[in-house]
Amino acid sequence: MTHQTLLLGQTLHFDGNPLTGDWRDTVRIDSAGGVLIENGRIAATGPADRLRAAHGAAEVVDYGRDLICPGFIDAHAHHPQTAMIASWGKRLIDWLNTYTFPEEERFADADYAATIAERYLDLTRAAGTTTMCSFATIHPASVDAFFAAAAVRDQCVVTGKTCMDRNAPEDLRDTAQSAYDDSKALLERWHGTGRAHYAITPRFSPTSTPEQLDALGALWDEHPECLMQTHLSEQPDEVAWVRGLYPDARDYLDTYEAHGLIGARALYGHTIHLEPREIARLSEVGAAVVHCPTSNAFIGSGQFNLGRLRDAGVRMGLATDTGGGSSFSMLRTMAAAYEAAQHHGVALHAAQLMWLATAGSADALHLGHEIGTVRAGYAADLTVLDLKSTPAIAQRANRSNDVWEDVFATIMMGDDRAVRDTWIAGKR
């Protein structure tokens, strides 16, 4: 007989995008709900009493007033920067040269790459993150190590070899041809194997020649089923640098568009300092932008204008941008997203923040049919939140008028102590 596990507790459900209308029409919390897990997937959801009656042989895990929600999805991260997260005091270009590139050079050692991949997946799992889209390093072994570590956990992840052939240390430069060859070999080895998804990954326009961008655009044209991830308009001095490197480009986005690196399966991290043409074009092609609020604040990049991009119909996900971001926690990231939106006159509701960190990011990664929602048929990737995890949060929750006040307090003040359990492919 197939083993079944029945999780009981308050259960978060999405029926649409709460950013595009009244959140009450698309998000609800079942105060006495349940989730039935079987063979790594969600077999059923509904009222706890009904599920108990229908599945009496199931193993029951009763979470009481804890919140069962989709596993958090980090749509833009750099797992190789795990060991040097929270490094002091640099803006983007200095920070890359001082901290990031020296650390990434260490990934020439396959054993070190494997150690960091395991460490990163442990740290993010403890924070309730079940899926992430990460940049690896230039070394193919860094991709192999990450996918292999995730496969042991039956974990849905996205990554790709980071490609750079200029404006980087010699040990971290490839060529247009080797970027194409390595990326092709890796995606043919990993994409669609188990729960692995490959993303073609030019770091950003300043570290790729037009020839390399052409080669990666050609590879993406050959494998349109893959994602393409990169960075776009993170800091004003970066934008100026790109303008100098690509004087014929209409704008920063055009440096990708001219080489075939734009489309519905494209992911652009940061996207703070966009021109009107860029916003219109991103919306037109259905590309996704990824909001990285802790990183934007930590490196002094600026404040992402969520309302402007939302109103233009641009798809978006949410991300830690580890290690430019200063936390592995998507709770902390949601709190930072709330604070950033306030600078632009938008007060995001807890339901909208939770959607961004789960279903919204899943949609950005084109995995919304598989993860990001508590629904029958979906992977049983779940995060269970203790809504009274610390004395400070508990005393606030004791004054709440409804559960959404509890959720908001946990978003704003919570950390890994709020994560009661993380379930990946139906395993706790």
pLDDT digits (tens, 9 = 90+) for 299-329: 899 999 999 999 999 999 999 999 888 999 9
95: pLDDT strictly greater than 90: no
280: pLDDT strictly greater than 90: yes
89: pLDDT strictly greater than 80: no
Q: Quick one: pLDDT at residue 332? A: 98
pLDDT digits (tens, 9 = 90+) for 150-168: 999 999 999 999 999 999 9
Mean pLDDT on 139-150:
98
Average pLDDT in the chain = 97
pLDDT-based confidence at 92, cuts 50/70/90? confident
Mean pLDDT on 176-204:
98
217: pLDDT strictly greater than 80: yes
What is the residue type of 183? S
The domain ranges of the chain are: 4-71+373-423, 72-364
Q: Quick one: pLDDT at residue 91? A: 76
- Which CATH superfamily groups domain 72-364? Metal-dependent hydrolases (3.20.20.140)
CA angle 168, 172, 175 (to 5 degrees): 90
pLDDT-based confidence at 1, cuts 50/70/90? low
* Domain 4-71+373-423 indexed as CATH 2.30.40.10: yes
Mean pLDDT on 68-84:
97
Q: How many CB atoms lie within 10 A of CB 366?
A: 18
Mean pLDDT on 289-298:
96
* β pairing state of 419-423 and 72-77: unpaired
Q: Quick one: pLDDT at residue 193? A: 98
